[in-house]
Amino acid sequence: MNEFTSKKTGWLALAAGVMGVLAVISLIVFFVGLFQNIDSLLFMGALNDTINVIAGILSAILASRLHPALSRLLESRWRLIVLIGAWIGAIYIAVGSWLIQTGQADVELSSYYYFFGNGLIGIWLWVLNRTARRQSIWPHKLTALGSITSMFMMLGLLGLSGILFGLDGSEYSPLIMVSGLSYVGTGILYPFWCLWLARWLLSSYGKQNTG
């Protein structure tokens, strides 16, 4: 069975997309509570951190699911690099959430972990969509969106310098503002891409290709 067109891949993509949407919703509700002084909504911050971790892990699992099929189309030196990168990305996201939840880091440093982790996942997404587009496996518009999404996500790789230097305490530093642009990809475009992929895979066309 080709993992690129399998129903299981569709369900994984759906789960990742739904988690991404929930992450955005929980973050919006948290900020509403923060700026409107509604204490009962502040728990959404911790919930958002948990959802981010789940979303990152689901992305890594999706990468693992697609790895056999992707490996058959990639040069040998790329086969494990993109998969390992996706899992390291998920780990960085989890560490960032753990740091802020345990009080060992403030918003800036934990955000760098989040941006950098998703930046690594963005590398996998770029390779995946580039390969799928070259092989005409998925719809052209889907792979185009995936490529644009991955480029936004990879801006988060700039967060590595913030991690290495231990920058923390300034929520409006130039570095966090620039690397924060990656959220356009991570928080908005990536969930939409996942849901689009899931819809395509779980449609009658996708089912026909899976047998």
Average pLDDT value over all residues in the chain: 93
Under 8 Å between Cβ of 138 and 200: yes
Under 8 Å between Cβ of 191 and 20: yes
Burial class for 76, CB neighbours closer than 10 Å (0-12, 13-18, 19+): exposed
Task: Compute how many other C-beta atoms are within 10 angstroms of the C-beta atom of residue 165.
Answer: 11
Mean pLDDT of 133-157: 96
Q: Is the pLDDT of residue 153 over 70?
A: yes
Determine if the pTM surpasses 0.85.
Answer: yes
Q: In angstroms, rounded to a whole number, what is the distance separating the alpha carbons of residues 58 and 126?
A: 17
Task: Compute how many other C-beta atoms are within 10 angstroms of the C-beta atom of residue 90.
Answer: 25
Instruction: Tell me how many degrees the CA angle 163-17-180 measures, rounded to the nearest 5.
Output: 30
